[in-house]
Amino acid sequence: MLYKGLVNHPQERQRITYPWVYWDGRFSNVELNQIVAYCRAEIEPRVAETYGGVDANVRVSSVSFHGRIEATDWIFKNLNDVLSQINTRWYGFDLNGYHAFQYTEYYAQSGGKYDWHTDMHLGGGVIPEDMIGETRKLSMSLLLNEPGVDFEGGELQFQVGTVPDTPDTPKGRIIAFPSFMLHRVAPLTRGVRRSLVVWVTGPKFT
């Protein structure tokens, strides 16, 4: 990977693969609320599935998918800029792109959660149609509402070593991570958690 541009912290380009990184301030509070309003009004959410179909023991949430059209163009422009900078600065993956973002709602009253999993398909079972041909390599989650106010529980956690790692995730923070990282959304205990998720694909890791 040929990195472009200079940085003032060269150690960030050492051969270290960070389990996750974060980015703040790309979307204002007004813009985050606009994303939620658009996604909730535009498409009726459906029950989220895992690779094996609907499994309430693993994943309990509602999702909808949104492609790049005139109404969402500003969202994609912001996401693309952040994802490009994150990849250049920290990962250096060979990426091609993504065709849509996923809007997700977790409800405490229905036991909302997503147990430990990776976003990259590692073989076995039925391969989802949208994962045939390219590999999910860089995942991104943008929290759209406020933990501790709108919901409790629902932490995004990563399995790093023997102890789960729980990043601080306020409203508006983007968390990006390699799609092969084991992670989960812990069970909600109150309210509704809303997020926007992207999986950027590219050629198979070599």
pLDDT digits (tens, 9 = 90+) for 96-144: 999 999 999 999 999 999 999 999 987 666 665 655 668 999 999 999 9
Residue 172: what pLDDT?
98
Q: State the average pLDDT over residues 66-70.
A: 96
Assigned superfamily of 18-202? q2cbj1_9rhob like domain (2.60.120.620)
| Torsion of the alpha carbons at 119, 197, 16 and 164, rounded to the nearest 10 | -70
Least Cα distance to 103 among 74, 127, 133, 72 occurs for 72
Domain boundaries, the chain: 18-202
Output the average pLDDT for the chain.
88
Residue 189's alpha-carbon distances to 100, 106, 147, 184, in angstroms, are 29, 10, 11, 15
Residue 67: what pLDDT?
96
Q: Are 117 and 177 in contact (CB under 8 A)?
A: no
Q: Residue 36: pLDDT above 80? A: yes
Residue 5: what pLDDT?
67
pLDDT digits (tens, 9 = 90+) for 147-184: 999 999 999 999 998 889 999 999 999 999 999 999 99
At 91 the three-state DSSP class reads helix
